[in-house]
Chain A
């Protein structure tokens, strides 16, 4: 349901329609106090994650195991998908295959239409965000209600989630209070999280009870049993699916694990990595529809098999969407989810999204210092910093950086390869710096000087000193 027609906050796009992460980030960081607050909120989650991980013996071995299981699964994904379909079908689950977002949306609408369902309650599914399902269904007369509290908040505000686990992490409670006052009739000025949550509970309970269908995401699907696992803290997936006559579960094809026992590894890692909890409140295993209900699972490719075919990037499909890399990313914390302009922001989004459209998302792999914190927190050991580096090379090779930057970088490469040329270049720069007043020099230094004082230019390089002091005069 789109309650308000105001425009969604959009990323900054350049003249070609490509996402300009740096521009979006600069807009975000211009609000210093808010940046401080946003950074602290996410660092708080990172610290909770650290504490939770520290309670698990052999945490690093657990990460190894998770990575190995996912690597194995992806290496024979076709077989496991076929096994899953066969086992699920045997349990009375209807399995659908969607090549892309459009097919996924048509399948979901088809299921709803066949039942005459008009009121859909959804629990968290980043896949349906990726597919643009809400807009598609709303445009065809379906009443779509996101039921995760954070997702409901951003839905009421006509905004996309800014984070994959905490969709409203960018909002202050005062803003949420205003939204709820406007849409749910809570008292003006009430921004108490307890009170606002209680109001949402009442508001959404009525929607759950009236729903014709429930849609959920899927955290894991088990090939050997044909079942799915959905994890929530709020209980919204369980409330929706336990009441509505139809349950539709949408999942990317990379969500498979071979055996139920593998979940011991992944559920130990997921909540601890995501929120620092030992477990989500509900880890629901669904292996058949309840009596009188229909259960549909939609398996969605939408670019995943293409990513699986990329030698340098298939490992991104190991991702279990815990968002630990997002929480720890020093750039995400200070640029906000919207600066990425992609369904999944942060490091993992910056290696997944270029696979959809490298031209549009070419700036994302550059939205990183390559500090590597992302790869170090990742519970399935996705080598995120390595993949960011490799996407940069591809973005450059494809010509998706500015011609000026391209020319400069190629010139710089030539200069750096030649000590004499470098000496000459530095000499010229030094001579200029010595005669030009500092404020002007800073302006001439472009983006460096805009944010920083320039370094001093020593009179003599180390090599010159070395020649004079260690080798003696030539």
Chain B
């Protein structure tokens, strides 16, 4: 089983700690992980802004880079959704990569298995608000969206439930969008920021001491909104919790190992 880990552009450069955590988790699970050079981005940031043609080169590069792997583990739900939905348009390599691309938590849940994840023995004394990015939620079946009348399921929660000491804050609107939305956060800044404030208010009302997410793009936005209002809510990627790296703020610039 050849497994590649992909840290999307913004994770690579803005939240390297989460990628380091993900790598460690996979390694501790006995998975041989490769982090190939070649692709920096899947092209989603420009494609969702209406410039799919400008993002095509990045996506093609992604497909070329990861064509030979059995699993491409992406540290961002929305990037995984983008690849799965759009790489199919760029030939055989694209179709193969699209089928084999998944998100980190989905990989742990579906391929590794929750019981093996439990053997990591992660502990965290925190009451966390779970924030699953909307694309991952509805595009990868990471959890049952609140709109659907189906049996409840939540892969991310199942993975996090292996962490000793961790409890979940109940949110009034469990899967309300945080307002990031890529270029939306710039083009519709006022509404985007308002959505972020509302999301954080719900997290606070639920008594959460931290926010844990599958999507660091959401977290970078939420953190920006939170810090602009003088807040200090810790925000972590699921991988950081599992790796025992959630002691301090995931988005603080510690770089390197910590």
Contact = CB atoms under 8 A, between A and B. Distances in A.
Interface string B12-53: 111111011001000000000001011111010110111111
Question: Which size bracket describes the interface of B in this complex?
Answer: 35 or more
A255 B228 CA distance: 49
B192 A451 contact: yes
A377 B189 contact: no
B158 interface: no
A414 B43 CA distance: 9
Given A29-B190, A409-B46, A451-B228, A466 B23 contact: yes
The winner among A54, A453, A458, A465 for most chain B CB atoms within 10 A is A458
Contact of B225 (A423, A452, A456, A465): A452
A418 interface: yes
B173 A43 contact: yes
B221 interface: yes
B198 A370 contact: no
Interface stretch (B91-99, B121-129, B142-150): B142-150
Interface string A434-474: 00000000000011101111111111111101100110000
Given A366-B184, A366-B188, A409-B46, A414 B11 contact: no
Given A366-B188, A417-B58, A465 B16 contact: yes
Contacts of A448: 185-186, 189, 224
A368 B184 contact: yes
Contacts of B184: 366, 368-370
B170 interface: no
Contact of A422 (B9, B53, B176, B225): B9
A334 B223 contact: no
A406 B192 CA distance: 21
The winner among A35, A331, A450 for most chain B CB atoms within 10 A is A331
A53 B149 contact: yes
Contacts of A470: 23, 35
A426 interface: yes
Given A366-B187, A451-B193, A461 B228 contact: no
B188 A454 contact: no
A10 interface: no
Given A413-B55, A418-B40, A370 B149 contact: no
Contact of A462 (B20, B52, B147, B175): B20
Contact of A451 (B20, B138, B145, B189): B189
A393 B52 contact: yes
A334 B195 contact: yes
> Interface of chain A, helix or strand or loop or mixed?
helix
A451 B225 contact: yes
B251 A371 contact: no
Interface residues of A, number: 75
B227 interface: yes
B51 A409 contact: yes
B54 A458 contact: no
The winner among B11, B16, B17, B56 for most chain A CB atoms within 10 A is B16
A243 B19 CA distance: 71
A392 interface: yes
B50 A396 contact: yes
B153 interface: no
Interface stretch (A19-27, A218-226, A281-289): A19-27
Contacts of A328: 147
Given A330-B195, A395-B50, A465-B16, A370 B135 contact: yes
14 contacts: A29-B191, A35-B194, A59-B149, A330-B179, A334-B194, A372-B135, A376-B138, A393-B52, A409-B50, A409-B54, A413-B46, A413-B54, A416-B41, A451-B189
Of all A-B residue pairs in the complex, the 10 with the closest CB atoms, nearest first, are: A452-B224, A369-B181, A413-B54, A392-B50, A456-B253, A451-B193, A371-B134, A376-B147, A396-B50, A453-B227
